[in-house]
Amino acid sequence: MSENINTWLSQINNDYKAALSVDCVIFGYTDADLYVGTIKCNMPPYEGLPSLVGDLVRPDENSDQAVNRIIIEKTGFKNLYFEQVHTFTNIDRHPLGRVVSIAYFSLIKLDEYQRAESSNTKELNWINLNENFILAFDHNQILEKCITQLRDQIKDRPVGFNLLPKKFTINQLQELYEVILQIKLDKRNFRRKLLSLGILSDIKEFQTEVSHRPAKYYSFNKQLYDKRKSDGFLF
Amino acid sequence: MSENINTWLSQINNDYKAALSVDCVIFGYTDADLYVGTIKCNMPPYEGLPSLVGDLVRPDENSDQAVNRIIIEKTGFKNLYFEQVHTFTNIDRHPLGRVVSIAYFSLIKLDEYQRAESSNTKELNWINLNENFILAFDHNQILEKCITQLRDQIKDRPVGFNLLPKKFTINQLQELYEVILQIKLDKRNFRRKLLSLGILSDIKEFQTEVSHRPAKYYSFNKQLYDKRKSDGFLF
DNA sequence: ACAAAAGTGTTGTCGCTACACCCATGG
DNA sequence: CCATGGGTGTAGCGACAACACTTTTGT
């Protein structure tokens, strides 16, 4: 930091301060498509446009806590996985003054969201990422960065596992990869690869009430993952 | 953002604001080792400890601009490549109050730094990353995150090229990789791999005044890189 | 002629891709 | 018994790792 405490104390006042906000890119996915959850912006000059879900970070919380709060508020999900992506600091990014925004992404299975959607959760508008659309503020830019990051991450980190229910089938995992990366994967190769990583636990459960051969459920084994990570690499 | 402008306007005052700072992890490398550039902290309770180079972001600049300013101040290098890594927001991370810090990393060849070190650049203390040491504030944590990021990045992005002089030899590039990743690489395989990427230009120049066979200089060809990136993947 | 770093090819292995059919269940 | 998605094996190819000697320059 600066060499002099006094410099600090004086600078830290007034216009050296900024409002701190977080913006969440909440991805929602179905069998076929990837969406982003938005709300309607009511601030000129962006009135009426969709915007990402965000809020100011309160004085008594850090940004992760703020994100957690917002996600619970908007989706009702209490332990959703999320990651910090990038911080946007352009001086004119917000009409009301200097607002710095820390961008996060998260991901949710859309039919679970709809099933869970309860009395008190505010409704999100889901926009299909295959369409073109304009968001308020610099939110298109934020969204782009988050999409890129999500795609990069999923290729060499088990982000996908954090994003699925505790138990899932290999095919569900594959669908998630396909939707995120927008490519078609080979069933056999995908299964072989993922199982060979040795980070999935066979929990000896099967689907029920499906009108076809029931699939085996697996869960993500974090211990094995951490162990393997400390040895060498992964994926 | 929030649904109501008034919410915004009122909240944005007072204790909802934070001081905004950047901290730079300036890596320095030699043939054999990787270092981090530090200054001496004079703020209790961390007085006397080394700390990362950082400063407040001024009201008229964004965080990238602040980083650029700091790097020029401390190293004299005008176009050093740098990247944003992560933002640290814990409420008690700074003794003087709420200071949010955006972490960046950069990288410099140590002998160039020493050669260029001029009258007006403040001196940095270079700490070898193989040693154990304690930094002021949460700077050890910031440093860790930056090291991880640098290692991850270099594996699948041409970060390395941005970090070298405009013209460099393949062996210099290899040394950089070896120092950063802390592994020994095979000369032939490295050369083959890098040349096969097709993003290096042979600039038809050779080392001079070396008492051994002079090496060919290459430069990073950004056009080729961008082209290749838009086709498919890379590395 | 010697020291010092630059530069060069081949072979085995492992992981990825491509591809088509049988299995278990519900209706 | 039919429809639906679950689950399996193999062969060819390409990328990566391992490995030692010759070349060019300065002294």
Each residue of A80-109: pLDDT tens digit? 889 999 999 999 999 888 999 999 999 888
Q: Mean pLDDT across the stretch B56-76?
A: 93
Distance from the A197 Cα atom to the nearest Cα atom in chain B, whole angstroms: 20
Domains of chain A listed by start with CATH number:
1-156 (3.90.79.10), 166-235 (1.10.10.10)
B115 CB closer than 7 A to any strand D atom: no
- Report chain A (235 residues): mean pLDDT per 10 consecutive residues: 50 77 93 90 88 94 96 87 96 90 92 64 86 95 96 82 84 92 93 91 89 93 82 61
Question: Which residue type is seen at A158?
Answer: P
Q: Which nucleotide minimizes the distance between its C1' and the CA of B212?
A: D25
- Predicted pLDDT at A118: 59
Q: In terms of C-beta density within 10 A (0-12 exposed, 13-18 middle, 19 or more buried), how is residue A20 classed?
A: buried
Interchain CB distance below 8 Å, B18 and A20: yes
- Predicted pLDDT at B11: 54
Q: In terms of C-beta density within 10 A (0-12 exposed, 13-18 middle, 19 or more buried), how is residue A93 classed?
A: middle
Which token pair is A69? 């709060």
Cβ atoms within 10 Å, residue B175: 19
- Predicted pLDDT at A109: 83
Which token pair is A219? 């869960």
For helices A187-196 and A170-181, the axis angle rounded to 10 degrees is 110
Nucleotides of D under 7 A from a protein CB: 3-10, 16-20, 23-27
Closest CA to B154 of B171, B175, B139: B175
Interchain CB distance below 8 Å, B89 and A9: no
- Predicted pLDDT at B115: 66
How does DSSP classify residue A16?
G
CA(B35)–C1'(C16) in Å? 38
H-type alpha helices, B12-119: 63-75, 110-116
H-type alpha helices, chain A: 5-11, 63-75, 110-116, 139-156, 159-163, 170-181, 187-196, 222-231
| Buried-exposed string B178-210: b where 16+ CB fall within 10 A, e elsewhere | bbbeeeeeeeeebeeebeeeebbeeeeeeeeee
Closest CA to B12 of A55, A38, A123, A69: A55
